[in-house]
Amino acid sequence: MTAKNVATKIGTKNVATQIAAKNVATKIGTKNVATQIAAKNVATKIGTKNVATKIAAKNVATQIAAKNVATQIAARNVAKKVGTKNVVKFLPKGIAKNQ
């Protein structure tokens, strides 16, 4: 085997290695694209989840507000009853309480 032939074989081997390396790089690149798409999808899902959380939080706030209104109405009604009862208590002695 001549030195030239050895050099040719080594050169060919190096080309093959470079092609293989290029293919690996391509596969890694494709994998990264897939990872980025997956990551984007995860971000979208998190975004959707956040929207759902905001809606849920809004609904809770609405429920709390509604509960507060109900409490205020109930308290107002209690106040009315207490007021009426107090009026009856303070009627002059000569007037019957049941009138």
Q: Which domain holds residue 69?
A: 1-86
Whether residue 49 lies inside any domain: the answer is: yes
Is residue 65, in this structure, part of any structural domain at all? yes
Q: Residue 88 in contact with residue 97, Cβ under 8 Å?
A: yes
The DSSP letter of residue 91 is: S
Residue type, 84: T
- 30 close to 38: Cβ distance less than 8 angstroms: no
pLDDT at 29 exceeding the cut of 60:
yes
In the chain, what percentage of residues exceed pLDDT 90?
Answer: 0
Beta strands in the chain (DSSP E): none
Residue 91: pLDDT over 70:
no
Give the CA angle between residues 44, 46, 51 to the nearest 5°.
95
Q: How many separate domains does the chain show?
A: 1
| Amino acid 14: pLDDT | 77
Assess if residue 99 is contained within a domain: no
Distances 2 to 10, 15, 16 between C-alpha atoms, Å: 13, 20, 21
- On whether residue 39 sits in a domain, the answer given is yes
